[in-house]
């Protein structure tokens, strides 16, 4: 299953410490590190990398800054798919490169945030709410310390 599609919707900013190819590799790595059980359950979903969210997405979600959104899940979560869910366009997970790079100041922090954002958006695919993901991420951070 080829989950990753690349697209750009803004000019590249100079001076990135992680280039586009390295960023893509980190996204692929984050997906490959998912437990096999979850990877096998991911169907009809594509993962994209874009430089920034579009103006339309920012407006629809009530964001003012293009740096305020790190990732986005668009689709019907697995938990809400019924027997009539078929012959539909794939769900879409988008990871926004520039906001992640801007937020993090070193390569390890970038790698960690890519993994966190990928897992967060995949969590939405599996039907987890923002609150549920917040609790999971908070508990994970406590254990990591």
**Domain ranges within the chain, ordered by starting residue:** 4-144
pLDDT one-digit tens code per residue, 8-51: 443 333 345 799 999 999 999 999 998 899 899 999 999 999 99
For position 11, what pLDDT does the model report? 38
- Contact criterion met (CB below 8 Å) for 132 and 96: no
- Helix (H) or strand (E) run with residue 47 in it: strand 45-50
**Rounded Cα distance, 62 and 14, in Å:** 28
**Residue 87 vs residue 73, higher pLDDT:** 73
For position 125, what pLDDT does the model report? 96
Q: Report the pLDDT averaged over residues 101-128.
A: 94
In this structure, CATH architecture of domain 4-144: 2-Layer Sandwich (3.30)
99's tokens: 């906001």
pTM: 0.84
DSSP state of 71: E
Residue 3 has pLDDT above 60, yes or no: no
What is the number of alpha carbons within 13 Å of residue 82 lying toward its C-beta?
1
């Amino acid at each position: 299953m080829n989950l990753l599609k690349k697209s750009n919707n803004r000019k590249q900013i100079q001076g990135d410490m992680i280039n586009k190819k390295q960023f893509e590799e980190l996204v692929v790595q984050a997906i490959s590190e998912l437990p096999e059980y979850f990877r096998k359950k991911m169907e009809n979903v594509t993962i994209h990398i874009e430089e920034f969210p579009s103006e339309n997405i920012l407006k629809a979600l009530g964001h003012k800054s293009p740096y305020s959104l790190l990732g986005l899940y668009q689709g019907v979560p697995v938990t809400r798919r019924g027997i009539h869910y078929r012959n539909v366009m794939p769900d879409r997970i988008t990871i926004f490169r520039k906001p992640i790079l801007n937020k993090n100041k070193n390569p390890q922090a970038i790698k960690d945030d890519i993994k966190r954002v990928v897992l967060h958006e995949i969590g939405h695919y599996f039907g987890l709410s923002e609150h549920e993901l917040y609790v999971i991420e908070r508990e994970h951070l406590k254990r990591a310390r």
